[in-house]
Amino acid sequence: MNTVIGSLVILCILPLSCAWIAGYHRQKQLGSIDNKEPRIQALQLTGAGARAMAAQANSWEALAVFSAAILAVFISGVALQSVATWAMAFVALRIVYIPMYIGNQDKLRSLVFIAGFGICIYLFYLALNAN
């Protein structure tokens, strides 16, 4: 259970790391960080900064899907320890995904995304077939 919860904690931190990277690019590209209207300022970013913002949004979305899959597994009675390896694999894929997104490696990034989404679908499958 601790591995799965630890995975969720890491996945909660990843979008914030993307925000920090985007903040660096806001400072670099726009000369300052507007903390009063950060989303409006972020819309002005281009290149790696814009992709860091997109990676942040995608990271929140991935967290929601993975969390739902873990909740389904838990509710269905599947032992969380039995999915710990899948949880760690999902985290590893998400950690790889972010630099691929920011670095504009679109094809590899898409493959990594599909693999991570596949893990979530598999977790739902386990939950649906638990009884």
Question: What is the C-alpha separation between 45 and 40, in angstroms, rounded?
Answer: 10
Architecture in CATH for domain 2-128: Up-down Bundle (1.20)
Domain boundaries, the chain: 2-128
- Residue 37 pLDDT: 92
Q: Which two tokens mark 116?
A: 């991570």
Record the pTM: 0.94
87 with 70: CB under 8 angstroms?
A: yes
> Which residue carries 């630890």 as its tokens?
6
> Which residue carries 């670095």 as its tokens?
103
* Integer angstrom CA distances of residue 125 from 23, 52, 57, 69, 81: 38, 32, 26, 9, 16
Would you give per-residue pLDDT tens digits along the chain (131 residues)? 799 999 999 999 999 999 999 999 999 999 999 989 989 999 999 999 999 999 999 999 999 999 999 999 999 999 999 999 999 999 999 999 999 999 999 999 999 999 999 999 999 999 999 97
